[in-house]
Chain A
Amino acid sequence: DGGITQSPKYLFRKEGQNVTLSCEQNLNHDAMYWYRQDPGQGLRLIYYSQIVNDFQKGDIAEGYSVSREKKESFPLTVTSAQKNPTAFYLCASSILRTDSGNTIYFGEGSWLTVV
């Protein structure tokens, strides 16, 4: 099946620990994104990447890091510097063309909880 796969669905982090959320897409999309969603709230952009080996900070990048070594993969690391990481994390991807509107498609999300 084509789509965006996020893993794990649920993750628990201890204080001071780094954790990595996986995101893989087999849609051959150029761009990939990470969003954070706090319960009952909207989406905030953490990082995005439009091409391999390049990525840009979004609105709330502090305490997070990413890599884009392959077109299909865009892992997100939540570092110990992120003081309030408990949230629902959404990975997304899109093509980049001038005429298609570049619809963003989302994975199923990952819950991160600090214990």
Chain B
Amino acid sequence: AQSVAQPEDQVNVAEGNPLTVKCTYSVSGNPYLFWYVQYPNRGLQFLLKYITGDNLVKGSYGFEAEFNKSQTSFHLKKPSALVSDSALYFCAVRDSRNYGQNFVFGPGTRLSVLP
């Protein structure tokens, strides 16, 4: 079975500081990993994904994520946070062995960037 954990409900960071939003996963095979962002009353927007290859993945709006197979983690990072990054962030996983299998989403982490 697949599962995703986002251990922090809320992350607070000062503007200009680096930010990290944590995600750990569990799948039977190799994972496909995704990050999405949701602004109030909006749908989820795709930020980045890890399929294979380089463990450091770069995505939209200056975000990046690092795949760590040994720690089964896929933490989202940004070197310098903006107030406009304040939103709800979701991590998702799918088992690469079954392309028809559905995603499993984490519970979400609310990021607040303080001016």
Inter-subunit contact A48/B102 (CB<8 Å): yes
Residue B41 is within 8 A (CB to CB) of chain A in the complex: yes
Inter-subunit contact A101/B49 (CB<8 Å): yes
Residue A62 is within 8 A (CB to CB) of chain B in the complex: no
Inter-subunit contact B105/A97 (CB<8 Å): no
Residue A55 is within 8 A (CB to CB) of chain B in the complex: no
Question: What CA separation (Å) do A106 and B88 show in the bound complex?
Answer: 15
Residues of B within 8 A of A48 (CB): 102
Decide yes or no: A42 and B107 within 8 Å by CB, A100-B51, A102-B99 being known contacts: yes
Residues of B within 8 A of A45 (CB): 102
- Chain A residues 75-90 with CB under 8 Å of chain B are 88, 90
Contact-residue bracket for chain A: 20 to 34
Inter-subunit contact A107/B43 (CB<8 Å): yes
Question: What CA separation (Å) do A104 and B49 show in the bound complex?
Answer: 11
Give A59 Cβ to nearest chain B Cβ, in Å: 10
Residue of B nearest to A111 (CB): B41
Question: What CA separation (Å) do A106 and B42 show in the bound complex?
Answer: 9
Question: What CA separation (Å) do A6 and B105 show in the bound complex?
Answer: 21
Show the binding face of B for A, using Cβ within 8 Å: 32, 34, 36, 41-46, 49, 51, 90, 92, 94, 96, 99-100, 102-103, 105-108, 110
Show the binding face of A for B, using Cβ within 8 Å: 4, 6, 33, 40-43, 45, 48, 50, 58, 88, 90, 92, 96-109, 111
Return 23 A-B CB contacts under 8 Å, by A number. Answer: A4-B43, A33-B102, A42-B105, A43-B44, A43-B90, A45-B102, A88-B41, A96-B100, A97-B99, A98-B99, A99-B51, A101-B32, A101-B49, A101-B51, A101-B96, A102-B99, A103-B34, A103-B46, A103-B49, A104-B46, A104-B103, A106-B44, A108-B43
